Every structure is written in C-alpha cells, then in structure tokens.
Amino acid sequence: MCSDSTPSLGPHTLAKLQAKNPQGSVDFDKTFWPSAAHMDALRHEDDWRRVAEEHFLFSVDNICKYFARSPPLSAQDADGWRPREHVAFLFSEDDEEFHNLIQKHMVMLFILGDFFLGHSEEVAGGKYFALVKPNADGAPFPNAGAAFVDADVRGIVIGSTWRRCSASLAVDESSLAVADYLLSQYDNFLQFAGQKDGTTRCAQIVQLSLANHVDHDVSDPLVAVQLDASNAFCSVSRQPQFDVLAGKASRSYDDGRVQLGDELPRPRTLDKYWGYFWSMQGNAYTMRFSDNQGVTHHLPCSKGGQQGDGLETIRFAVTVHPSCERHLECKVLGICDDILILARLSKALSCAADMKKILKAALDMDLNVPKFNVFFPDASFSLDTARSALDRAVRADAALADLAAMGAGVSTDDMRVAGVPVGVDAWVKTFVAKKARSVITVVASSVQDLMPN
C-alpha cells in the first residue's frame, strides 16, 4: 500500500531484463550428487519422518494456514493464481479428499522434485516484470555514461503460487538449524539472511561494534567497508551451489585451498530438500515478460535463482559464505550479498580485496561498484581526511589494486545496512523523519483515492 514503485515499461525494458539474466551451463558435474537410492534412504531417516509424519509440516492444515495468511492482493503468478484471493477459497469447504489431492499433487511435488523432466522449465519459471530502480534519494537511477545498461531496472520474478507455498513451509521447518549454521560456522562471520528481523539485528551489531572506534589509532582507524554483489541472485553460478548442497567440491576453489573431492560445510537440514533444489535449478527454465505492447516474451534462465523464494535465499546464503578465516582481525556481517567488514582500515581493505577475488573466481559474481563504500565512525574525520586516509591505505598495499580501480565511496556520518540507517544520531533522525513523511504522504494519497467522489 505504501509502495510508490513504478513499473518499467519502456521500449528498452526487454533488453535490460535480458542483460540482467546472463546464461550459464546446466551441464553439471554430478559426481558427488546424491543418488536416487541415497535420497530414498534419507527419507527413511528420523529427520524426514519428523517432518513428514510426526508433525507433518506439509499437512493440509498448514497449507491452508499459509494461503489464508498470505498478504492480500499479492501478485498473480504466471497461471493467474493469487494465494489469498484464489487458492485460500479452495479450502473453505470441508472436502478432505480434494484437499489431500492438493497437498499431494500441488505442494509435495515441489518438495520431492517429482516432476517430468520435460515440465521442469515451466514449473521452475515464473512471471517476470520490471520496476524502475530509484537511487539513494528516491529519484530514478541515472542510467548514463559508464552505468550498466540494466542499472535503472529491478527485475521481479513471481514464481508459481504452489512453489512459494512449499518453499515457505520448508523454510519454517529448517530456519532454526540454518540460522545456527550461518551464525556459528565461522568465528568472525555472521550471516543473517532468511532470519526474522535479520536486517535489524545486523544493523544493531554494526552500530555497537562501531562504537569502539575510540580504541583505535587514527593512523589505521576502525571502519566499516560495505560490499554488495552486482545482480547477485541472477549471476551466481549454479555448479558451486550444488557442490555446497552435495557437500563435496567438483573442482578446486579458493586458489587451490579446496581441492576436487574435498568436503564442503553445509547445514545438513537441507539434505532432505535436494529434490526441490534439483527440480528448480537443475535445468534452464522459462520466465515470461509482457512488454509495453502486450507481447509476451519467453526469457531463458540457466544461471542464478529467484530472489523471492525462501529456499533460494537460504541456498544463496550458505553458498556465499566468504573466506573470512584468513582475516581473523575482521568482523564480517552479511544479509545475503550485502557484506560489511568491520576492522582497522588496512585489515578491512585486505579482506575486501580477498572476497572480491574469490567471489569472482568461485561464483562468477562481481561487486557492485556504486555500493562499495567505506564508513569512518570517528568524528575527528572529515570527508576530506577520510578520503586521504583511504587513498593512502590503498596505495600502501599492491594487493589492493583492484579496489583502487573501483573507486570506493567515503562517508563519515551516514551508512545504511540493507536499508536500515546506521550512523551519527542527527543523520539517523533526519533519515527516519524523511521516511515517515514519505509514508504519510503515500497513505494520505491512497485514502484520498478510496474516498467517494
């Protein structure tokens, strides 16, 4: 209701969406993938029985609750279904046989990955549309000069309503185990993706950590380096994601520190959802986009995944676990692909350079240049002195040459952690007041539109 996002329906939108969806190979190395016999044995273990029998997370009752509690007027999928307005009414009568058919043939199919191979490109796809991407001030993003051709649009994929239901229920079941893994796998890295209020918690930890800037020498001050992957969900390679889910490397990673066949850490609770991940990402799928002339285009997708899918978010997060163990003097926090490095300036930049290299080599992901920023919490720094300190640190270490080419932004009073304001009190208060006025304006406009003439 309070969103003022504008659809992007210009003549060049199709080309921009195509640019946002680079294609990759789906000819995977399956050497270490679980076999059908392995999956059958897994579904006789206690973990699966606990989900499928004892509590039956995917029961008709839970499916009914999911659709009844879905947001009103949410987007229709490619088949026209809306969760609350359409599907919820299928459960309005006490028809046990019909409801069991829905549970078995519409929801559990996704969890088990029990589709005919020829249907995969349809069931894993979705409806595709684009929104105009605003810049930090809310104005349209300037798409000029060296900006990417797709810089001013945000692609949104609406997957099948039934897929969203199954993924949501699976996330409910696995969220605690996944959160424990993401928050404890590394001593110096906390990943908050997929967690309730994860963004706020991450921002609070950043704020508390930066308060210690008084304990650091101004010659190498405490900073927060912000990194963001460009077009992350659509760009990440699928093979390393499957390697993580399978628990073994199909090739070498991290400059040879990980070799073919080495064990890869993963949250074991995801093992039982291999069928879901395979059916959704094991093949190229089709996304449908209707342009400003009403023509529907079929866009192939063979790389990355769908950002709005809860299980996809978890898979992305457990894959993009940065190599922080070599940088123990840094505290690293993340919300999916939004990464913050808290450390002395020299150490934080070294960690950032290492991440940039590894994310590209292992996952084919690039850092988003406009979002690369260094925040100086020490009030003794002005923008000029902060810029000078950053430039000196980069010049002092030849290994930071790649970062120098990116041209990091510098700030001394304002920083946002995945949209949550963090910084000096005056700036945070101004930011919140501006957002509040914006919401009030939109709500007032919406109420006025609903008033009878």
Tell me the pLDDT tens digit for each residue of 290-310: 988 889 999 999 999 888 888
Q: What is the mean pLDDT of residues 141-162?
A: 67
Please tell me whether residue 427 adopts helix, strand or coil conformation.
Answer: helix
Residue of 29, 27, 24, 25 lying closest to 260 (CA atoms): 29
Please report the pLDDT score of residue 374 as a whole number: 93
Structural domains of the chain, count: 1
pLDDT-based confidence at residue 166 (cuts at 50, 70, 90)? very high
Spatial separation of the C-alpha atoms in residues 405 and 418, rounded to whole Å: 24
| % residues pLDDT > 70 (the chain) | 92
Identity of the amino acid at 195: Q
Q: Is 446 within 8 Å of 1 (Cβ atoms)?
A: yes
Is there a domain that residue 3 lies in? Answer: no
* Lowest-confidence region among 38-52, 64-78, 79-93, 221-235: 38-52
Q: Which residue has the higher pLDDT, 445 or 230?
A: 230
**Does the pLDDT of residue 97 top 50, yes or no?**
yes
Pairing relation of β-strands 285-290 and 126-132? parallel
Average pLDDT, the chain: 86
Q: Looking at 118-127, 315-324, 382-391, which range is the least confident one?
A: 315-324
Contact 191, 183 (CB under 8 A): yes
User: pTM value?
Assistant: 0.88
User: What span, in angstroms and rounded, lies between the C-alpha atoms of 210 and 343?
Assistant: 9
Classify residue 157: in a domain, yes or no.
Answer: yes
439 inside domain: no
Residue 357's contacts (CB-CB under 8 Å, 6 or more residues apart) are: 402
Burial 18-32 (b: 16+ CB within 10 A, else e): bbbbeebeeebeeeb
420: containing domain: 13-429
Domain assignment present for residue 246? The answer is: yes
* In a domain? residue 447: no
**Dihedral of alpha carbons 37, 39, 40, 41, sign:** positive
Q: Residue written as tokens 């008033």?
A: 451
Question: Does residue 434 fall inside a structural domain?
Answer: no
Whether residue 440 lies inside any domain: the answer is no
Q: What torsion, rounded to 10 degrees, do the Cα atoms 407, 411, 412, 418 define?
A: -130
Contacts 24+ apart (CB under 8 A), 378-383: 378/213, 378/214, 378/216, 378/218, 378/221, 378/222, 379/412, 379/424, 380/218, 381/218, 381/221, 381/412, 382/412, 383/410, 383/411, 383/412
Asked whether residue 383 is domain-assigned, the answer is yes
